[in-house]
C-alpha cells in the first residue's frame, strides 16, 4: 500500500510540475538594437545554426551568438533589407537608393538583389527583359530585383519589377527569377510555353530545387500560388475563393501560404497547407481573427508559423502543429513583457523568429525576437529524476 501511495505521489508531482511549466514552452530573446536603431527591428529568417537575418528601416543585419552585424549596402545605395539565410550562412535580400523630402518618400531607385557571404555583398543583377505593360528601358533606375529565398546549394529566387511612389514605396513584381552560379533566369523561361502562366513572384526554394511563389494567372485573371518542380508548374488551388499566395516550401514538398475563402463565408484570408495535391485550411487560433490569418514558413517536421490580424495590436504570432492552431503569446512566460505580433520563420530545431512589441524600461518598442523551445526531454528527465529520488527516500523510511 505504501508503494502505491508513493507511486501516486510521484505521479502527482510529475503532473503538477508539467502543469506549472505548461504556459512557457519557449524561452524568448530580444535580438537587440542595430547601432542607434532601438525601435523598428524585424527578423526575417533563421537557419539551423540559430543565425538570424532581418532589417531595420534602412539596414540589413545578421544576428549570431548574441551579436548584431550590419551587412552594409551595395555600392551607390543607402538601404538594405535581408530576407533569408541558408545553413552555410549565405544571406540574400535587396539594396536600393532611397530619397525623401521632409519624411515623404520621393524615390527608391536602383534596387538590386544581393548575396552576402563572409563579409562580401554581391549584386545579383537584373533580368534583361521586363514584360508588358512596362517595356524594357536601358538603365531605367525604377527597375529592381529583390532576392527572397536561398537554399543550401546557393540557388536564389526572387522577383524583378519596377518601383512606384504612391504615398510610399510600392513594388510592382513582374518576373520571378532563379539565380545560380552568377546567372539569373526568368522562371517562365524554364517551363513549357503556357499563356495562362506569368510567374511574377518567387518566395522560397527548398534543397530539391522546388520553388513556391505567386502570380497573376490568366483566363480568368486571378492571383494564385504556385509550386515549380522539375520544369513544371502546379497551381496550389484555393480554400474556396479566387486568390492564393504561396510563401514557403520544405524539403518534403509541403507548401504553405494563404488564400481567400469561399463566398458566403467570412471572405478573409486563411492559412493553408498544401501537400500531395491537396490544400487544407489550417484554421485560426482560439479567439478568431477579424483580419484573416497567414502562414509564412514551415520546417522539416511540418510545424508552421505565421500570424493572424487582430486590429489591436496589429497582429498576433501563430503556430500550427498536428491540427492545432496556437497563439504563440500563450506559449511564453506571461511576465515576459512581450506582445508577439508576427512570426516569419521556423528552423528544423523549432526555433522561431519574428517581431513584436517589447516593453523595455517602461517603454514599448518594436523588436525582433527568437523563441527557443524549452527542451521537453530534459524537463521530463529532471522531473522523473526528482520523482524517483522521492520514491527511494520513502522506501528507505518504510
Q: Give the CA distances from residue 151 to residues 88, 205, 251, in Å, rounded to whole numbers and listed in that order.
A: 9, 6, 10
Handedness of CA 307, 308, 313, 314 (dihedral sign): positive
Q: Is the pLDDT of residue 167 over 90?
A: no
What was the pLDDT predicted at 37?
A: 84
pTM for the full predicted model: 0.85
Q: Give the CA distances from residue 114 to residues 36, 74, 98, 149, 155, in Å, rounded to whole numbers and listed in that order.
A: 24, 8, 16, 11, 12
Contact 194, 181 (CB under 8 A): no
The pairing of beta strand 143-150 with beta strand 120-123: unpaired
Beta-carbon neighbour count of residue 357 at 10 Å?
16
Average pLDDT rounded to a whole number, residues 365-388: 68
Per-residue pLDDT of 68-126, as tens digits, reads 999 999 999 999 999 999 999 999 999 999 887 666 655 677 899 999 999 999 999 99
Per-residue pLDDT of 213-228, as tens digits, reads 998 776 666 789 999 9
C-alpha 225, offset from chain centre: 16
Closest Cα to residue 12, out of 344, 397, 386, 393? 386
- Return left, alpha or beta for 154; rule: phi > 0 is left, psi -120 to 50 is alpha, else beta: left
The pairing of beta strand 91-101 with beta strand 104-117: antiparallel
What was the pLDDT predicted at 165?
A: 53
Q: Using CB atoms within 10 A of its CB, is residue 365 exposed (0-12), middle (13-18) or buried (19+)?
A: middle
What was the pLDDT predicted at 150?
A: 98
Instruction: Determine the Cα–Cα distance for residues 317 and 230; give it in Å rounded to an integer.
Output: 34
Instruction: Determine the Cα–Cα distance for residues 259 and 329; give it in Å rounded to an integer.
Output: 24
Summary mean pLDDT of the chain:
83
Average pLDDT rounded to a whole number, residues 356-375: 96
The pairing of beta strand 363-373 with beta strand 352-360: antiparallel
Contact 279, 239 (CB under 8 A): yes
What was the pLDDT predicted at 261?
A: 84
Per-residue pLDDT of 169-213, as tens digits, reads 555 778 999 999 999 999 999 999 887 788 999 999 999 999 999
Per-residue pLDDT of 37-69, as tens digits, reads 889 999 999 999 999 999 999 999 999 999 999
Per-residue pLDDT of 236-249, as tens digits, reads 999 998 899 999 99
Instruction: Determine the Cα–Cα distance for residues 207 and 276; give it in Å rounded to an integer.
Output: 18
**Containing H/E element for 231?**
none
Per-residue pLDDT of 295-329, as tens digits, reads 999 999 999 999 998 766 678 999 999 999 999 99
Instruction: Determine the Cα–Cα distance for residues 188 and 183; give it in Å rounded to an integer.
Output: 15
What was the pLDDT predicted at 256?
A: 98
What was the pLDDT predicted at 122?
A: 97
Handedness of CA 72, 73, 76, 78 (dihedral sign): negative
More confident residue, 168 or 348: 348
C-alpha 285, offset from chain centre: 18
What was the pLDDT predicted at 98?
A: 87
Per-residue pLDDT of 118-161, as tens digits, reads 999 999 999 875 555 445 555 677 788 999 999 999 999 999 98
- Return left, alpha or beta for 336; rule: phi > 0 is left, psi -120 to 50 is alpha, else beta: alpha
Per-residue pLDDT of 252-295, as tens digits, reads 999 999 998 875 566 588 999 999 999 999 988 876 566 789 99
Instruction: Determine the Cα–Cα distance for residues 278 and 259; give it in Å rounded to an integer.
Output: 14
Q: Most distant CA pair in the chain: distance in Å? A: 91
Contact 227, 216 (CB under 8 A): no
Instruction: Determine the Cα–Cα distance for residues 31 and 258; give it in Å rounded to an integer.
Output: 28
Set of cell numbers at residue 261: 475563402
Closest Cα to residue 370, out of 395, 349, 348, 353? 353
What was the pLDDT predicted at 380?
A: 40
Amino acid at each position: 500500500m505504501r508503494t502505491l501511495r508513493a507511486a501516486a505521489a510521484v505521479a502527482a508531482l510529475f503532473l503538477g510540475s508539467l502543469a506549472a511549466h505548461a504556459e512557457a514552452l519557449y524561452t524568448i530573446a530580444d535580438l537587440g538594437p542595430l547601432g542607434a536603431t532601438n525601435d523598428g527591428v524585424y527578423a526575417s529568417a533563421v537557419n539551423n545554426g540559430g543565425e538570424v537575418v532581418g532589417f531595420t528601416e534602412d539596414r540589413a543585419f545578421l544576428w549570431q551568438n548574441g551579436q548584431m552585424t550590419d551587412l552594409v549596402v551595395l555600392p551607390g545605395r543607402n538601404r538594405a533589407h535581408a530576407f533569408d539565410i541558408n545553413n552555410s550562412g549565405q544571406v540574400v535580400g535587396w539594396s536600393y537608393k532611397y530619397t525623401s523630402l521632409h519624411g515623404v518618400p520621393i524615390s527608391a531607385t536602383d534596387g538590386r538583389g544581393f548575396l552576402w557571404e563572409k563579409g562580401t555583398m554581391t549584386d545579383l543583377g537584373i533580368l534583361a527583359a521586363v514584360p508588358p505593360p512596362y517595356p524594357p528601358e536601358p538603365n531605367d533606375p525604377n527597375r529592381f530585383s529583390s532576392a527572397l529565398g536561398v537554399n543550401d546549394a546557393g540557388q536564389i529566387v526572387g522577383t524583378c519589377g519596377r518601383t512606384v511612389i504612391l504615398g510610399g514605396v510600392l513594388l510592382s513584381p513582374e518576373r520571378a527569377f532563379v539565380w545560380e552560379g552568377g546567372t539569373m533566369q526568368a522562371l517562365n523561361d524554364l517551363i513549357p510555353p503556357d499563356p495562362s502562366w506569368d510567374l511574377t513572384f518567387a518566395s522560397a526554394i527548398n534543397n530539391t530545387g522546388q520553388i513556391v511563389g505567386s502570380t497573376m494567372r490568366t483566363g480568368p485573371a486571378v492571383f494564385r500560388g504556385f509550386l515549380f518542380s522539375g520544369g513544371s508548374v502546379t497551381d496550389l488551388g484555393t480554400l474556396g475563393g479566387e486568390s492564393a499566395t504561396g510563401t514557403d516550401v520544405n524539403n518534403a514538398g509541403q507548401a504553405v501560404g494563404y488564400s481567400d475563402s469561399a463566398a458566403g463565408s467570412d471572405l478573409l484570408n486563411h492559412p493553408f497547407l498544401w501537400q500531395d495535391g491537396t490544400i487544407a485550411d489550417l484554421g485560426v487560433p482560439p479567439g478568431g481573427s477579424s483580419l484573416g490569418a497567414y502562414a509564412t514558413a514551415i520546417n522539416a517536421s511540418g510545424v508552421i508559423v505565421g500570424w493572424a490580424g487582430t486590429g489591436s495590436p496589429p497582429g498576433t504570432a501563430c503556430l500550427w502543429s498536428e491540427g492545432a492552431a496556437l497563439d504563440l503569446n500563450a506559449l511564453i512566460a506571461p511576465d515576459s513583457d512581450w506582445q508577439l505580433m508576427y512570426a516569419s520563420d521556423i528552423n528544423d530545431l523549432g526555433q522561431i523568429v519574428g517581431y513584436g512589441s517589447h516593453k523595455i524600461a517602461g517603454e514599448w518598442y518594436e523588436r525582433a525576437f527568437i523563441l527557443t523551445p524549452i527542451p521537453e526531454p530534459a524537463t521530463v528527465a529532471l522531473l522523473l529524476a526528482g520523482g524517483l529520488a522521492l520514491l527511494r527516500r520513502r522506501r528507505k523510511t518504510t
